[in-house]
Amino acid sequence: MNANPSLHSDQDRGDGSLKYILSGDGAGDLFIINENTGDIQATKRLDREEKPVYILRAQAINRKTGRPVEPESEFIIKIHDINDNEPIFTKEVYTATVPEMSDVGTFVVQVTATDADDPTYGNSAKVVYSILQGQPYFSVESETGIIKTALLNMDRENREQYQVVIQAKDMGGQMGGLSGTTTVNITLTDVNDNPPRFPQSTYQFKTPESSPPGTPIGRIKASDADVGENAEIEYSITEGEGLDMFDVITDQETQEGIITVKKLLDFEKKKVYTLKVEASNPHVEPRFLYLGPFKDSATVRIMVEDVDEPPVFSKLAYILQIREDAQINTTIGSVTAQDPDAARNPVKYSVDRHTDMDRIFNIDSGNGSIFTSKLLDRETVLWHNITVIATEINNPKQSSRVPLYIKVLDVNDNPPEFAEFYETFVCEKAKADQLIQTLRAIDKDDPYSGHQFSFSLAPEAASGSNFTIQDNKDNTAGIFTRKNGYNRHEMSTYLLPVVISDNDYPVQSSTGTVTVRVCACDHQGNMQSCHAEALVHPTGLSTGALIAILLCIVTLLVTVVLFAALRRQRKKEPLIISKEDIRDNIVSYNDEGGGEEDTQAFDIGTLRNPEAIEDSKLRRDIVPEALFLPRRTPAARDNTDVRDFINQRLKENDTDPTAPPYDSLATYAYEGAGSVADSLSSLESVTTDGDQDYDYLSDWGPRFKKLADMYGGVDSDKDS
């Protein structure tokens, strides 16, 4: 602005009667006015960049009256710019990247500087850019501040970091202008412009021939000056003698190539392998192919070391066959193993007994022949899986095993038999040629052409049988009636022997029995009842179960009888202590009655059935000289006392002409039917009553106790 601006009123005569006052922006602070002359002065240095324009109001008033002599006037004060501000960059430090090997003029980054001076007034705010540091690698456009590459083929592998200093100067770069600077850090990023390289052309490794597939042998590594994915390497075996014997894999962490065994090695076959291993980049930029192939190769020599190996069998597994009727010591086949080492040590064979615990097979330790040591049965074991061991004689620690599978071939050595137990029935009103049962058979053998069974009645039953067998030619047969009507009271059960034969060689046959019961049936042919016992129903017990129950009951009864007999025997004393006590001839029948089936014992049936006709029995103690007709004795009536009956029989003995002339002892040792007691012989009656045990008579009453006392008698001529 102009220095010392002033205000003047037309009413001012210079006599000091007027007074000038100032108001508005900065009045009294930045700007003051001389109240007598109207001169305006600035009290401080003004900065256009802070406030370029001020608006003020001035007025002249009468000092005495204080009234304005003229209307208030407004005026504007503008601050003129001077070059008092240097250019300032938006960032103190810039960071930028650019790919290595970039072309000249490749954009890197743009920098910007601002100047606070008035761009519309002079050249105070006109900024020009220039590079102070970073040549000849980079350049900057003077007006825009764009930084570009200035050198061709900048290589990151040679230099990666660059620091560039850029200057911004106002006044259009003329002398006297103000300036500012900034720093730009530029990094070259990697591109795949370097192929992998092996540090050496030949590698050499060793491995034993016993190394299994997958065993690592050694590591090789190619170097690559690039970084990141541009430095990733893939290894491969491109050619060589061991192309199919070895493999190479890449360790992704270390970028190494690991040589591994691919197949089993054999020192005796080949001792040294030569491989060509190639290293290449999987990510290649086409624009750098002109530099050459991005791969490298090296030679790898692998030496196989000899190892003492166990014997090797000629096969991984052996399968042999033998007929089940083979005799002991029959040779089945043989196995072969040999030492793969150059020494060719002799081998001996043995059977792992853990796989043949029954010792069914054996092996010749010298030639490996397998032979049987026991008889075979295909129906018991079809396949025998054993293990054969081959061991070096000079080094027993070296051994190997091989599985041996022996199949037992079938021989027709089992006859066919019924598939189940057959028990059927026929109705009394059955018609001729009526099917009553279908038969099926099974055979443990397994012929190649399948089972072909034939059915027929046994020859001894075929002629007079009431049934016929019809072979259905499909391994089944039917039982048919041969006549109209059956009578279960005449014949309740028929047993049909059926012959079953196979069609193999040699022919095997067996005879099975079919039980046919004659039963009463309804009109629909459903069984209602049979004479002997009802057949098995789905809700009843089988015949075998009923027989088992009856056997249990009989066993229980026999046990009770024996227990009672032993108990009584302990209490009894013998009637005749010594035979010397009997001066005359006494025939002692020291036995018990045999029940109803004992036809030689005394028949007490007349006590129960007085009307029955007595069948006299011959004496067993003498041989009669003449045979007399037995006399009929009136039978005892139901109300006749047993004592009278016994006395009557005693008299008959006295008068019996067939009785011996000497004294004899007749023992009536008959046990009543169903009694659990011991003998009631009269030899016991002479003992004291207190020694007798009548517990078994508790259910028969005192009448039979009396019978026990008197049962039997002594026969003599007159003093019996």
How many C-beta atoms lie closer than 10 Å to residue 340's C-beta? 18
- Can you tell me the distance from the alpha carbon of 100 to that of 312, in angstroms, rounded to the nearest whole number? 62
468 within 8 A of 439, measured Cβ to Cβ: no
> Given the structure tokens 């590594």, which residue do they identify?
221
User: Within 13 Å, how many C-alpha atoms sit on residue 187's CB side?
Assistant: 7
- For residue 75 the two structure tokens come to 């005026």
Structure letter (DSSP) for residue 695: G
Report the pLDDT value the prediction gives residue 297, as an integer from 0 to 100: 93
Per-residue HEC secondary structure of 583-616 comes to CCCCCCCCCCCCHHHCCCCCCCHHHHCCCCCCCC
CATH, range 312-409: 2.60.40.60
How many C-beta atoms lie closer than 10 Å to residue 140's C-beta? 26
183 within 8 A of 164, measured Cβ to Cβ: yes
- Can you tell me the distance from the alpha carbon of 82 to that of 52, in angstroms, rounded to the nearest whole number? 12
Instruction: Single out the residue of 382, 412, 403, 388 nearest to residue 321, CA to CA.
Output: 382
- For residue 675 the two structure tokens come to 């009694």
Residue 110: helix, strand or coil by DSSP? Answer: strand
Report the pLDDT value the prediction gives residue 300, as an integer from 0 to 100: 95
Q: What is the pTM of this model?
A: 0.42
Provide CB contacts within 8 A for 650, sequence distance 6+: 713, 715, 720
Strand partners, 701: none
DSSP 360-420: -EEE-TTT-EEEESS---TTT-SEEEEEEEEEESS-TT-EEEEEEEEEEEP-S-S--EESS
Instruction: Single out the residue of 101, 102, 168, 105 nearest to residue 131, CA to CA.
Output: 168
Count each helix (H run) and each strand (E run) in the chain, helices first. Answer: 5, 41
Instruction: Single out the residue of 218, 156, 214 nearest to residue 188, CA to CA.
Output: 156
Angle between the N-to-C axes of helices 642-655 and 702-710, in degrees from 0 to 180, rounded to the nearest 10: 20
* Strands 435-442 vs 423-427: parallel, antiparallel or unpaired: unpaired
- Can you tell me the distance from the alpha carbon of 136 to that of 138, in angstroms, rounded to the nearest whole number? 6
79 within 8 A of 48, measured Cβ to Cβ: yes
Structure letter (DSSP) for residue 291: G
Structure letter (DSSP) for residue 581: G
- Can you tell me the distance from the alpha carbon of 215 to that of 605, in angstroms, rounded to the nearest whole number? 104
* Class of the CATH domain delimited by 202-305: mainly beta
The rounded Cα 684 to chain-centroid distance in angstroms is: 80
Instruction: Single out the residue of 227, 161, 218 nearest to residue 188, CA to CA.
Output: 161
Does domain 88-189 fall under CATH 3.40.50.1100? My reply is no
Strand partners, 297: 278
Peptide bond into 415 cis (omega under 30): no
Selected from 3.40.50.880, 3.40.50.300, 2.60.40.60, 1.10.10.10, the CATH number assigned to the domain covering 18-78 reads: 2.60.40.60
* Strands 331-334 vs 318-323: parallel, antiparallel or unpaired: unpaired
Report the pLDDT value the prediction gives residue 55, as an integer from 0 to 100: 84
What is the total residue count of the chain?
Answer: 720
In the chain, where the domains are located: 18-78, 88-189, 202-305, 312-409, 422-529, 572-720
Burial of 310 (0-12, 13-18, 19+ CB in 10 A): buried
Annotation: CATH topology of 422-529: Immunoglobulin-like (2.60.40)
586 within 8 A of 566, measured Cβ to Cβ: no
To the nearest 5 percent, what fractions of the chain are helix, strand and coil? 10, 35, 55
H-type alpha helices, 426-542:
459-462
- When computed from its CA atoms, the radius of gyration of the chain, rounded to whole angstroms, is 69
- Can you tell me the distance from the alpha carbon of 98 to that of 146, in angstroms, rounded to the nearest whole number? 13
- Can you tell me the distance from the alpha carbon of 627 to that of 461, in angstroms, rounded to the nearest whole number? 47
* Strands 369-372 vs 331-334: parallel, antiparallel or unpaired: antiparallel
Burial of 517 (0-12, 13-18, 19+ CB in 10 A): buried
Instruction: Single out the residue of 53, 114, 117 nearest to residue 82, CA to CA.
Output: 117
264 within 8 A of 213, measured Cβ to Cβ: yes
- Can you tell me the distance from the alpha carbon of 301 to that of 42, in angstroms, rounded to the nearest whole number? 97
Instruction: Single out the residue of 156, 161, 101, 163 nearest to residue 133, CA to CA.
Output: 163
87 within 8 A of 178, measured Cβ to Cβ: yes
DSSP 413-463: -S--EESS--EEEEETTPPTT-EEEEEEEE-S---TT----EEEE-HHHHS
The one-letter amino acid at 412: N
Report the pLDDT value the prediction gives residue 666, as an integer from 0 to 100: 59
- Can you tell me the distance from the alpha carbon of 428 to that of 434, in angstroms, rounded to the nearest whole number? 12
- Can you tell me the distance from the alpha carbon of 197 to that of 277, in angstroms, rounded to the nearest whole number? 12
Which regions in the chain score pLDDT beneath 70?
Answer: 1-7, 81, 83, 289-292, 531-546, 567-645, 657-720
